[in-house]
Amino acid sequence: MNVILLGAPGAGKGTISKHLVDKYSMVQISTGDILRNEVKNQTELGIKAKSFMDSGDLVPDEVILGIIENRIKESDCKRGFIMDGFPRTIAQAEGFSDMVGRNNLVIDAILELEADDDLLIKRLTSRRTCSNTNCQAIYNVLYQPPVKEGICDKCGSELIQRSDETEEAIAYRLKTYYEKTQPLIDYYNGGSNYHKIKADLPLDEIKASVDSILK
Ligand code: AMP
């Protein structure tokens, strides 16, 4: 089963991806996580991507499509993948659709997580991420705090606030989302595999909606 998760930053794509990984052994493909690893390792790609990411802009489409083309060919993707944070522009969606055809893949579901701006801003500014790039567990100081303040429950590393999760960067990321990514909702909407899910409900209810769609 292959799934695309759509939704603004903070809508819960990462959390729902983790649920699908745990429940169905699918593979999460988060372009944001891949890029953050490249930045951390100071690769050529990471150095190129960093300035876009820090300002809340999108990394160029051809860079992202190259990352995805390589990633979907890895053998673990046979277990089924979740696209988390990709595609983010119409050009990426069109490029991906060609890639899906060329690789004889099927997208079983496109899930859109819907939430209003107030909730997105509140969730993002209170989010903390594990600084260990092999872990990257996500916490929320309001809704899902770690047992020990500032420390990851899973690996004991320090929790950090991402540089693109300050109020200013978030406002810009939301603007970018509405300009560049929201048009994808019209692009995909209407297909029989397209489903809207309310993302302002308790997490268990959101997971139950996702499960009932994918069963
Ligand atoms: P995320 O963690 O998915 O919100 O991504 C963090 C940042 O990485 C975004 O603000 C973009 O700068 C970059 N990024 C992640 N995915 C993409 C994508 N599909 N297209 C362009 N830029 C991306």
Identify the pLDDT of residue 75: 96
Q: Say how far apart CA 89 and CA 77 lie, in whole Å.
A: 23
- What are the CA-CA distances from residue 155 to residues 8, 109, 143, 202 (Å)? 28, 33, 20, 26
**Who's near 108: CB < 8 A, 6+ residues apart?**
1, 2, 3, 193, 214
The one-letter code for the residue type at 137 is: A
Cis amide bond preceding 87, omega within 30: yes
Q: Is 127 a catalytic residue?
A: yes
Q: What is the pTM for the complete model shown? A: 0.89
Which tens digits make up the pLDDT trace of 141-174? Answer: 998 999 999 999 999 999 999 888 888 889 999 9
- Mutate which of 33, 35, 52 for ligand 1? The one with the most ligand atoms within 8 Å of its CB, which is 35
Rounded to the nearest integer, the mean pLDDT of the chain is: 94
Is 173 a residue of the active site? yes
Over residues 27-39, the pLDDT tens digits come to 999 999 999 999 9
User: In whole angstroms, what is the distance from residue 11 CA to residue 116 CA?
Assistant: 9
Q: How far is CA 138 from CA 33, 38, 151, 162, in A?
A: 12, 19, 11, 11
Ligand 1 centre and the CA of 153: distance in Å? 26
Q: Is 102 a catalytic site residue?
A: no
| Catalytic member of 88, 123, 128, 207 | 88
Q: Which atom of ligand 1 is nearest to the CA of 36?
A: 8
Q: Alpha-carbon distance 53 to 85, whole Å?
A: 13
| pLDDT value at residue 6 | 96
- Distance of CA 144 to CAs 53, 124, 148, 175, 198, Å? 25, 13, 12, 26, 19
Residues contacting residue 73 through CB under 8 Å, at least 6 positions apart: 103
d(CA 2, CA 18): 14
Give per-residue pLDDT as tens, 170-205. Answer: 999 999 999 999 999 999 988 889 999 999 999 999
Q: Is 162 a catalytic residue?
A: yes
The 10s digit of each residue's pLDDT in 98-155 is: 999 999 999 999 999 999 999 999 999 999 999 998 888 989 999 899 999 999 999 9
